Amino acid sequence: MSEWIKITLTEDELPKQWYNLNADFPAPMPPPVDLEGNPIGPDALAPVFPMNIIEQEMCTDRWVDIPQEVLGIYKIWRPTPLYRARRLEEHLGTPAKIYYKNEGVSPAGSHKPNSAVAQAYYNKAFGIKRLTTETGAGQWGSALSFATHLIGLECKIFMVRISFTQKPFRKIMMKVWGGDCVASPSQETEIGRRILEEDPNTPGSLGIAISEALEQAVQREDTRYSLGSVLNHVMLHQSIIGLEAKKQFEKVGIYPDVVVGCAGGGSNFAGMVFPFLADKAAGREVRIVATEPAACPTLTRAPYVYDAGDVAMMTPLLPMHSLGHAFIPEPIHAGGLRYHGMAPMVSHAMNHGLIEAHAIEQIECYESAVLWARTEGFIPAPETSHAIAQVIREAKRAKEEGKEKVIAMNWSGHGLMDLSGYDAFFEGRLTDYQLPEEQRLRSLLCLEGLPKPPAS
Amino acid sequence: MSEWIKITLTEDELPKQWYNLNADFPAPMPPPVDLEGNPIGPDALAPVFPMNIIEQEMCTDRWVDIPQEVLGIYKIWRPTPLYRARRLEEHLGTPAKIYYKNEGVSPAGSHKPNSAVAQAYYNKAFGIKRLTTETGAGQWGSALSFATHLIGLECKIFMVRISFTQKPFRKIMMKVWGGDCVASPSQETEIGRRILEEDPNTPGSLGIAISEALEQAVQREDTRYSLGSVLNHVMLHQSIIGLEAKKQFEKVGIYPDVVVGCAGGGSNFAGMVFPFLADKAAGREVRIVATEPAACPTLTRAPYVYDAGDVAMMTPLLPMHSLGHAFIPEPIHAGGLRYHGMAPMVSHAMNHGLIEAHAIEQIECYESAVLWARTEGFIPAPETSHAIAQVIREAKRAKEEGKEKVIAMNWSGHGLMDLSGYDAFFEGRLTDYQLPEEQRLRSLLCLEGLPKPPAS
């Protein structure tokens, strides 16, 4: 136990540029399109995002400078430590060496602020006064509340009503940072009022919340919308994770054989693995593995299509693996990562064979999370447990094969705000759940009639 | 914003010894005594604590080696970063420089594991299989659950029933780490059963919980009791905080003019300030300031007496500032730090003029905590807000006086598990509350007839 367990970097070693995988793809990504299949230009996005973010969304430069003010706020929790999970290795009796990047050390407790701070900064620089967004469980809403207050913007969060009621602490967290979080549907938007008139007791949905956030962003000149995952600029901002990790590995002369991340919309996964994919694109041998819940299997069981980001189809169509914008995962699923689509960049990487993906059921995830807490100490977010489960699989296989494999993982966040899932697990209220094939096919019906992306 | 905001240490720089202020007091501390005033020997404590901990409790060596296994677990979150609170300084427009040691980065979210890990280690080394303890809000119970599991002991936590019911997430947290947390009074002890027979609906109290934990520790040969604050060995273990802080200040050639900590039982305060008190004892000029809630003012309004650690008076009598073992703070107080007594070592330092103390009301504390979160990012524990309020007072005074004062603070923990207090604050449900003099005098009546410590 006298060996090192974490590699820290000083603030001076914080990367000064983000990495953009768009510069290194073997083929360019298909553009976002409208319902007729016509490519969307920057102007079409201008009511929703500021132009400097739109430019970043379309950018193919390999490196993008991180603004000084963003670096200043990153320093509150970055560089994050890279750990060696020695206690877990010992418990598993594996010859594998397990490393994890701890993104749970941010004030909001996950990787989400990496993009929230950047988005707040660019909106402020463009003269915007107020951001709107939606949040489900509350991770993104918390991160954006934190970021907007420090940058100096107002923040309005539409939180799915059922979560708003069931997770009262998330909304208090947002309020501490000055964020104005309301249950969605709300009385504050036309679409919210319409839905409440139809059904005053609706539990709400992410789709409704996105529509409310978009409505307010479009209607007010001083307001724009902010999204915590899926889009290219979010992947760009998150690349700071993998860039730091590579520096940390360099310090000890190690390069991972496999890099693992969990994937919902794709942001923490992309953030960790894209800088390693740059090496893979240049010929380096490294396995890149995404894990997702069996209840919401976009990479493993969804077709590559053009689909909208929201139920109401207010967004442009994006080229991505999608279960269909009308898809709603079963409430039995407690592990997050519930988005119907997968980030276009992650989807594109998948199509080009740069990454592999596995779907994992939730009992294995929670078992892995508890084992993690009891060996490594930190309590993982339910989302993160999907990566941990895969790492444990890899470590066990290394043991069977007697291989000294080096495994790296993005530990995307802590679970202190999500302990009710652990409670359900301990109480035996969780069961495994795999999306039934019939339901999957039904959910894809909403894609009929939409344009198709070119086969890659 | 391009200047550094935190100083990190590598694992190699982790201190290898704890510091013991007992070696540097101007006069020795009075010993613990029994009800007749006779000094208590080590054997009298043996049913409750293992002998290696008892030896540490009585130790006057200046430096005590930290065992390798404890260092190994400390490395999970230590060394903790020392921050410069530049955004807060800017907001206040103060010439003061504010530094804070972030103890919230531990898996349990506070400084408590510093002693929990050490206590678990020594008990294991002594052959003990199981620890019992009590917990109020749950900070200490969480830390001990974490520590015992990693060291390899069982852990039984008696949690005050009203907190057990009101703070369901704390007990889940303990369960994730394998701790067995039950509501107190419980059916598992004689005293618990007796109290439940008398009043099946009792909300419980810290005093009852301590009695249950002690009963189980005394009755089983493989079991001992563990306390998270107050005692000398806890102060010793916590000294790692201040030792690291001093190294960090040395790195940048700074020495603080004033060091601030909040004080309930005294452990986080002592941990931060005792290493600085070593310098003060050697002639260095530095102000050391403790802050406590006006609702539970032990250092500012309680006499220095011999008093028991628990309501049932099962513990030896300790020389300390105490409001009387029967003291119960008003439920209106939301900020923690509710213990009736103050650590004997902190009390002794107070008596010798080494430290000063201030009581602060809770609205100012919560206002300070919210300002902190909105400038520095991290959401403070309610306890920590008492230190923050004092730091803000000091910074404002420095502004009035035009002085470039260097202020250091122990940021003892994050508030993610205590957001209901913030909610009460935002909703206007909190009011200031100062312990009424009449109630203070009434609470001191339980001290009548007890032996008195020598005047110092």
DSSP string of B72-134? Answer: HHHTTTPSPPEEE-HHHHHHHT-S-EEEEEEGGGSTTSBSTHHHHHHHHHHHHHTT--EEEEE
- Across the strands, what pairs with A262? A291
- Is the pLDDT reported for residue A344 higher than 80? yes
Question: What is the torsional sign of CA B32, B37, B42, B44?
Answer: negative
Rounded CA separation B323/B441 (Å): 9
Q: Which residues of B are less than 8 Å from A375 in CB distance?
A: 150
Boundary (domain end) residue, out of B230, B254, B286: B230
Based on its alpha-carbon atoms, the radius of gyration of chain A, rounded to whole angstroms, reads 21
> Per the structure block, which two tokens stand in for B122?
């020594």
Query: Which among B181, B419, B420, B425 is the top mutation candidate for probing chain A, defined by the most A β-carbons within 10 Å of its own β-carbon?
Result: B419
- How close is the nearest chain B Cα to the Cα of A90, in Å? 12
Compute CA distances B219 → A388, B126, B130, B213, B224, whole Å: 41, 17, 12, 10, 9
Boundary (domain end) residue, out of B212, B230, B248: B230
- Across the strands, what pairs with B101? B82, B410
Note the Cα B176 to chain centre separation in Å.
Answer: 23
- Is the pLDDT reported for residue A53 higher than 50? yes
Q: Which residues of B are less than 8 Å from A422 in CB distance?
A: 172, 175-176
Query: Per-residue pLDDT tens for B100-134?
Result: 999 999 999 999 999 999 999 999 999 999 999 99
- How close is the nearest chain B Cα to the Cα of A275, in Å? 25
Query: Which among A13, A16, A71, A75 is the top mutation candidate for probing chain B, defined by the most B β-carbons within 10 Å of its own β-carbon?
Result: A75
Rounded CA separation B107/A81 (Å): 14
- How close is the nearest chain B Cα to the Cα of A29, in Å? 36
Q: Which residues of B are less than 8 Å from A173 in CB distance?
A: 379, 416, 419
Write the DSSP assignment of B266-290 as a string of letters.
SHHHHHHHHHHHHHHHTT---EEEE
Pairwise CB contact (< 8 Å): B75 & A374: no
| Same domain? B257 vs B387 | yes
| Same domain? A292 vs A409 | yes
- Is the pLDDT reported for residue A2 higher than 70? no
Does residue B208 form part of some domain?
Answer: yes
The b-or-e profile of A172-194 (16+ CB within 10 A means b, else e) is bbbbbbbbbbbbbbbeebebbee
Determine the residue of chain A that is closest to B113 in CA distance: A377
Does residue A77 form part of some domain?
Answer: yes
Across the interface, of A69, A178, A379, the residue whose CB is closest to B107 is A379
Across the interface, of A10, A370, A374, the residue whose CB is closest to B8 is A10
| Same domain? B402 vs B272 | yes
Pairwise CB contact (< 8 Å): B11 & A6: yes
Q: Where are the alpha helices (DSSP H) in B199-311?
A: 206-219, 232-238, 240-251, 267-281, 298-301
| Same domain? B74 vs B148 | no
- Is the pLDDT reported for residue A392 higher than 50? yes
| CB-based contacts of A440, cutoff 8 Å, min separation 6 | A301, A302, A323
| Same domain? A408 vs A283 | yes
Rounded CA separation A396/A92 (Å): 7
Boundary (domain end) residue, out of B183, B207, B230: B230
| Same domain? B92 vs B151 | no
The b-or-e profile of B73-105 (16+ CB within 10 A means b, else e) is bbbbbbbbbbbbbbbbbebbebebbbbbbbbbb
Does residue A38 form part of some domain?
Answer: no
| Same domain? B161 vs B192 | yes
Query: Which among B88, B176, B252, B411 is the top mutation candidate for probing chain A, defined by the most A β-carbons within 10 Å of its own β-carbon?
Result: B176
| CB-based contacts of A153, cutoff 8 Å, min separation 6 | A120, A123, A124, A128, A129, A130, A131
Query: Per-residue pLDDT tens for B307-317?
Result: 998 878 888 99
| Residue B31, helix vs strand vs coil | coil
- Residue ranges in chain B modelled with pLDDT below 50: 1
Does residue A132 form part of some domain?
Answer: yes
Does residue B27 form part of some domain?
Answer: no
Burial class for A107, CB neighbours closer than 10 Å (0-12, 13-18, 19+): buried
Rounded CA separation A88/B91 (Å): 44
Pairwise CB contact (< 8 Å): B377 & A76: yes
What is the per-residue pLDDT for A1? 39
3-state secondary structure A253-321: CCCCCEEEEECCCCHHHHHHHHHHHHHHHCCCCCEEEEEEECCCCHHHHCCEEEEECCCCCCCCEEEEE
Across the interface, of A71, A176, A374, the residue whose CB is closest to B422 is A176
> Per the structure block, which two tokens stand in for A47?
């009511």
Rounded CA separation A13/A340 (Å): 37
Domain total in chain A = 2
3-state helix vs strand vs coil in chain B, percent to 5: 45, 15, 40
Given a contact cutoff of 8 angstroms between Cβ atoms, the answer to whether A247 and A275 are in contact is no
> Per the structure block, which two tokens stand in for A15?
């990367």
Q: Which residues of B are less than 8 Å from A76 in CB distance?
A: 5-6, 376-378
What is the per-residue pLDDT for B216? 94
Residue whose pair of structure tokens reads 């079409």 in the numeric block? A44
Question: What is the torsional sign of CA B107, B183, A138, A437?
Answer: positive
Eight-class DSSP state of B12: G
Q: How many residues does chain B have?
A: 456
Does residue B318 form part of some domain?
Answer: yes
Burial class for A387, CB neighbours closer than 10 Å (0-12, 13-18, 19+): buried
Does residue B429 form part of some domain?
Answer: yes
| Same domain? A163 vs A256 | no
Q: Which residues of B are less than 8 Å from A419 in CB distance?
A: 169, 172-173, 176
What is the per-residue pLDDT for A326? 83
Query: Which among A419, A420, A422, A423 is the top mutation candidate for probing chain B, defined by the most B β-carbons within 10 Å of its own β-carbon?
Result: A419
Residue whose pair of structure tokens reads 């083929």 in the numeric block? A27
Query: Per-residue pLDDT tens for B234-290?
Result: 999 999 999 999 999 999 999 999 999 999 999 999 999 999 999 999 999 999 999
Q: Which residues of A are less than 8 Å from B377 in CB distance?
A: 73, 76-77, 107, 146, 150
Given a contact cutoff of 8 angstroms between Cβ atoms, the answer to whether A374 and B149 are in contact is yes
Report field, pTM of the whole predicted structure over 0.90: yes
Rounded CA separation A203/A184 (Å): 8
| Same domain? B394 vs B355 | yes
pLDDT band at A456 (very low <50, low <70, confident <90, very high): low
The average confidence (pLDDT) of chain A is 95
ipTM of the complex: 0.96
| Same domain? A226 vs A331 | no
Domain containing A315 — which CATH number?
Answer: 3.40.50.1100
Does residue A367 form part of some domain?
Answer: yes
Pairwise CB contact (< 8 Å): A2 & B71: yes
- How close is the nearest chain A Cα to the Cα of B423, in Å? 6
Pairwise CB contact (< 8 Å): A1 & B71: yes
- Is the pLDDT reported for residue A302 higher than 80? yes
- How close is the nearest chain A Cα to the Cα of B278, in Å? 29
Rounded CA separation B56/B235 (Å): 11
Pairwise CB contact (< 8 Å): B168 & A423: yes
State the residue range of the domain holding B272: 6-13+65-109+233-447
Query: Which among A379, A418, A427 is the top mutation candidate for probing chain B, defined by the most B β-carbons within 10 Å of its own β-carbon?
Result: A379
Query: Per-residue pLDDT tens for A321-343?
Result: 999 998 877 777 777 888 899 99
Pairwise CB contact (< 8 Å): A417 & B422: no
| Same domain? A361 vs A427 | yes
Helices and strands counted in chain B (H then E)? 19, 15
Angle at A337 between CA A336 and CA A343, to 5 degrees: 160
- Is the pLDDT reported for residue A205 higher than 90? no
| Same domain? A208 vs A332 | no
